[in-house]
Amino acid sequence: MSEPGRGRVDLAVTVLCVLVGTLIGVLTPARRLVLTHALRSSVLAPVLLTQEAVARRTRLSARLAVLETERDSLARDLIEARQALEENARLREVLSLGPRPSDTLVAVELEPGRVPGGEDQTFLVRRGSDDGVRAPAGVFTARGLVGVLRSSTAHATRGQFWTHPDFRVSVRTATGTASGIVRAGDDPDQPMMILEGAPYQTDIPPGTVLYTSGLGGLYPPGIPVGTVRSVSAVESGWEKSYRVEPAVRPEQVDVALVWRRPAGP
């Protein structure tokens, strides 16, 4: 059974809604706007606040799910990294190479296109030399290469995404059978990379992952750069170039890692 008086309340609410709807229908647009604003700021205010709170909670729940996934991924990466470090230490001991020179990864937040006079191919890091962040240095995530730091001050550092026309990185395949230089593609509407300088005699099949070679000391070796998709151009008897799908797209990155190179050899 319904609660006493519930039917009368429902009837009153229905009549009120009909009256308000009729009133709004006969008002001029200006008066209708005033009435709408008055309702939103008075009678409907609790409802709107509740709706906003629910929407915010939904967004936070979705963000929490993403963060939990990233946490699990980072935990797996950390376990694998520890195993690799232990294996590396044992191998260096067998070869009498001594301890591996220490290097450090610094987590930074990227602010795209915030450099004065900059563009969406650049970014700003609000950490500088006083925080241990110095240019030049490679920038990457667990998924792959993001870009490079170009200049730094005491409290800020400027950098370029791989989409910048001046960006270059030395790469190799996992087997080391092919190497070359990767740069940004020429078509801004298709954010792809181009591998140049690959040996003419060596075919790199689609699906091959390219990694940083570590040459020059700017990037640590073994960071994923992209995946070969197709041949872009062929210079007979000399070299081939390939279209490469990037491992990381700049618009997907908020937080990244900066590599501080080892001080020793």
| Distant-in-sequence, close-in-space partners of 27: CB < 8 Å, separation ≥ 6 | 35
Q: Are residues 146 and 247 in the same domain?
A: yes
Is position 157 within any domain?
yes
Query: Which H/E stretch holds residue 63?
Result: helix 45-94
Residue 85 maps to a domain: no
Q: 230 with 206: CB under 8 angstroms?
A: yes
88 part of a folded domain: no
52/177 same-domain check: no
144/228 same-domain check: yes
Are 32 and 141 part of one and the same domain?
no
Q: How high is the pLDDT of residue 265?
A: 46
* One domain, residues 114 and 57: no
Residues 30 and 150 both lie in one domain: no
CATH (domain of 247): 2.40.10.350
Same domain, 234 and 141: yes
The Cα 50–Cα 57 span in angstroms is: 10
State whether 107 and 232 are in the same domain.
Answer: yes
Does 52 share its domain with 110?
A: no
Identify whether 91 is part of a domain. Answer: no
Residues 26 and 119 in one domain: no
Q: What is the pLDDT along the chain (265 residues), one digit of tens a residue?
A: 555 555 676 676 676 667 766 766 666 677 667 766 776 677 667 776 788 888 888 888 888 888 888 788 877 777 777 777 777 777 777 776 666 555 577 888 888 764 444 457 888 888 888 877 888 888 988 889 999 999 888 888 899 899 998 999 999 998 888 889 999 988 877 789 999 888 888 888 999 999 999 888 888 888 899 999 988 877 766 778 899 999 988 888 888 888 876 654 4
Q: Residue 178 falls within a domain, yes or no?
A: yes
Strand order across the beta sheet in which 255-260 lies: 104-109, 255-260, 137-140, 145-152, 157-161, 122-125, 111-112
Would you say the pTM of this structure is higher than 0.85?
no
Name the residue range of residue 175's domain: 103-265
Q: Are residues 141 and 250 in the same domain?
A: yes
Structural domains of the chain, count: 2
